[in-house]
């Protein structure tokens, strides 16, 4: 089987197609009349590539009143709270809301369009714990904020 397939074949052989891709045997590009081709790829493989090409970076700070803020640079979002945990949880809420808004209306806005692969990376997270892990994978969010 080549990498390029027609939609009707993909629909008729969906189980075999999932098995092939799930066993790490590459991707398939599905073509459908009058539509853009769609690539089907193992989600874990895609996440691994995006982790390398689109890492997340954040910055923690504490205001004079003790409020903790955590800034997510790639999406220009921040979370606030009385503790680091509260600030991180607020940021996760803000991130989920942003992804919904991005899909609904921001995806083609000039100042948001370039965030597509960070949004896709977030969408690959199966739950909130996985989202927390991928955003803060290279960082220690338990450190004391001065």
Q: 56-136 has which fold?
A: Double Stranded RNA Binding Domain (3.30.160)
Q: How would you class 127 by CB atoms within 10 Å of its CB: exposed for 0-12, middle for 13-18, buried for 19 or more?
A: exposed
Residue by residue, pLDDT tens for the chain (146 residues) are 468 999 999 999 999 898 888 887 778 999 999 899 999 999 999 999 999 999 999 999 999 999 999 999 999 999 999 999 999 999 999 999 999 999 999 999 999 999 999 999 999 999 999 999 999 986 544 444 44
Query: What residue segments make up the domains of the chain, in order of their start?
Result: 4-41, 56-136
Contact assessment for residue 61 and residue 53, using Cβ atoms and an 8 Å cutoff? no
How far is 91 from 47, CA to CA, in rounded Å? 21
């Amino acid at each position: 089987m080549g990498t390029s397939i027609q939609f009707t074949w993909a629909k008729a052989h969906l189980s075999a197609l999932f098995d092939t891709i799930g066993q790490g045997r590459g991707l398939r590009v599905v073509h459908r009349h009058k539509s853009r081709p769609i690539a089907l790829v193992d989600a874990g493989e895609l996440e691994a590539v995006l982790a390398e090409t689109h890492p997340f970076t954040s910055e923690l700070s504490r205001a004079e009143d003790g409020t903790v803020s955590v800034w997510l640079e790639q999406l220009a979002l921040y979370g606030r709270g009385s503790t680091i945990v509260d600030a991180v949880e607020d940021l996760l809420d803000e991130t989920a809301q942003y992804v919904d808004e991005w899909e609904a209306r921001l995806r083609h806005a000039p100042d948001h369009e370039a965030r597509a692969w960070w949004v896709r990376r977030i969408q690959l997270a199966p739950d909130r714990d996985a989202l927390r892990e991928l955003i803060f994978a290279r960082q220690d969010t338990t450190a004391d904020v001065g």
